Amino acid sequence: MVTLSLKDTAQAVAVSHHKMDEGTHTAKYFPSNDNLIKILEVSSSVATSGSIDPFLCDYDEHHAAPYRIEIILLSDEEWKDVLDKKLRLPDDWDLQYAEDLL
């Protein structure tokens, strides 16, 4: 079995989520120094909670990778607030270093 790189795995996760939820229109990969994949996804089908809470996600056995995956899922309104600096991402999630996946 070929092990994908962190970014390639992040790309596969984002594409998979987009296929399950076509409302997912933005996905960002945040490079990390350990075997942690950090992905921010924005979906028009997500309700606005007003808070940003990363959660650990299991990747299905067909795409198994030796990485932990942490995801932040935002509504369109929350994403706008992040871009407008009204809502802050966690300290170790710096948009300056984020890479587009979708």
Q: Which domains does the chain have, with CATH numbers?
A: 6-100 (3.30.460)
Q: CB–CB of 98/28 below 8 Å?
A: yes
Rounded to two decimals, the pTM is: 0.91
Would you say residue 41 has pLDDT above 80? Answer: yes
Distance CA(35)–CA(90), nearest Å, equals: 18
Side by side, the strands of the sheet bearing 36-43 are: 55-57, 68-74, 36-43, 24-30, 99-100
Would you say residue 31 has pLDDT above 60? Answer: yes
Q: What is the pLDDT of residue 34?
A: 84
Would you say residue 17 has pLDDT above 80? Answer: yes
pLDDT tens for each residue of 56-96 = 986 654 555 678 899 999 999 999 999 999 999 999 999 99
